[in-house]
Chains A and B, each alone.
Chain A
């Protein structure tokens, strides 16, 4: 680990001042400290933001939610309002990491977490995300767990977050505070596709701080859930996952929010699947037909050719679980 200086921000302004001078924010630290030890991350200054007042979960008008950036994964998952309004968020969190890590990691940090691509973590390997222009060892390497959607010739690494998949499905908004004031960014625009600059991962301006994630109100009753498919039953990243939220009225699907994880360079919203569902009556045939569109545009690599089919089946199964088979 490279040496760094450490400062504790006592309020938001102090944090932003330190951030503007190039300080790196640290909240739960579970990804950052790990990557610093591997020398993948080499911040010169850490700005500890854990004392900032960003720990509130509150309901917003019409039944939405605003989750403070420093609420831990464990606190978010267990929060009565989150559990009542958006089970998909609680489920995605409880299927992530371990109880210890969920006690440490925050929501803001969760969506900032970096890929688990082994070549990114290995400083001796070529990686355009870590070292722009050095190449991508995963393209011809061990790429069984890598992305099939949103990839480029520069990068095929997946985004590892589960709750970010729920946020993508629900069309959340990221609240930011920076030297130039507040702004709000749709979740779909917050995480960036790799393109030719996989080193740029978020639409953050220098010194900007995530203050909250807001979930918009959706028509009720809303049924939602998260399915994660992985190599072991617990404490593992997704090979594929699906976040699904459905609103039915009069036996007809009126709203459908669907996104997939483990397959995209960013959490992958599935608008074609959603469109196929809206206005239809739930049936086994509908789930299958909608899920058939989940892997549209997929590009497989040498070792992850199983992912498109696994993704379709994951989406189909979760549509069935959330929507029922009748």
Chain B
């Protein structure tokens, strides 16, 4: 057990460099904070230390956890309630994985943990000691897109794009698991990813083409 009181919570071992100009995300976060409720333990120097949904508790147990995200070793101290999704988005500035339902029902938050696709919203970050996490940001090889990323562009497999990172990470898992042989099989094994725009036909096509390569 590696918990310590919140007052002793150190900053992240590898603090993210803050951008000098406000990005779209920090702008929205800042304006939301102004218009919203002031909370203890929320945004501190641009780095959110607790899960965004759980910012109200004054004293909450925290733990230190070391994991690898997209090939980079990270050591962070998190409120035990923090999901992997919130760790990625609010702490590590990796906003590719999306928060849709936050209940394991939509798949927008899908990432790979130790090579397997999972819902990061239902994964407690504190449980990921030693784990290897791959997000949409870690999929490309430098400037060369992952074949499934390229296939989504070629097939025009999205409209609003909100579900797309989850679809692609899930598709990578689906192909790796060997469940992408037919359109029917892909539909069944990709059913954990909802697309409100209804781009399923093209999503299936993108997964099928990538699997066939």
Contact = CB atoms under 8 A, between A and B. Distances in A.
B66 interface: no
B33 interface: no
A19 to B, nearest CB: 14
B103 A3 contact: no
Interface string A1-22: 1011111100000000000000
B129 to A, nearest CB: 7
Q: Name the residue among B59, B110, B188 with the largest chain A CB count within 10 angstroms.
A: B188
Contacts of A233: 191
A296 to B, nearest CB: 34
Interface stretch (A94-102, A157-165, A169-177, A200-208): A94-102
B53 interface: yes
Contacts of A29: 122-124, 127
- 10 pairs of A and B residues whose beta carbons are closest in the complex: A98-B192, A234-B191, A3-B60, A7-B1, A235-B191, A103-B116, A5-B61, A1-B81, A6-B80, A100-B192
B64 to A, nearest CB: 11
B179 interface: yes
Interface of A: 1, 3-8, 26, 29-30, 33-34, 36-37, 46, 48, 50, 74, 97-101, 103-104, 233-235
Given A5-B1, A29-B122, A33-B122, 17 more contacts: A1-B54, A1-B81, A4-B81, A6-B63, A6-B126, A7-B1, A8-B1, A33-B123, A74-B116, A98-B193, A100-B104, A100-B117, A100-B173, A101-B104, A101-B122, A103-B173, A234-B188
Contacts of B79: 3
Nearest to B6: A3
Interface string B1-43: 1010000000000000000000000000000000000000000
A99 B81 contact: no
Given A1-B53, A6-B80, A99-B179, A30 B122 contact: yes
Given A34-B103, A37-B103, A3 B59 contact: yes
B162 interface: no
Interface in B73-105: 79-81, 83, 102-104
A34 B127 contact: no
A33 B80 CA distance: 11
Interface in B124-161: 124, 126-127, 129
B129 A234 contact: no
A72 B32 CA distance: 40
B187 A8 contact: no
A233 B61 CA distance: 42
A100 B107 contact: yes
7 contacts: A4-B81, A8-B127, A98-B192, A99-B189, A99-B190, A100-B104, A103-B173
Contacts of A3: 57, 59-61, 79-81
Nearest to B117: A100
A216 B104 CA distance: 33
Contact of B170 (A34, A46, A99, A104): A99
A99 B129 contact: no
Nearest to A78: B177
Contact of B1 (A6, A26, A100, A104): A6
Nearest to A14: B1
A36 to B, nearest CB: 8
B59 A97 contact: no
B96 to A, nearest CB: 16
B5 to A, nearest CB: 11
B136 to A, nearest CB: 15
A13 B117 CA distance: 31
Contacts of A26: 124, 127
B53 A235 contact: no
Interface in B186-213: 187-193
B69 interface: no
Contacts of B187: 234
Interface in B109-126: 110, 116-119, 122-124, 126
B119 A101 contact: yes
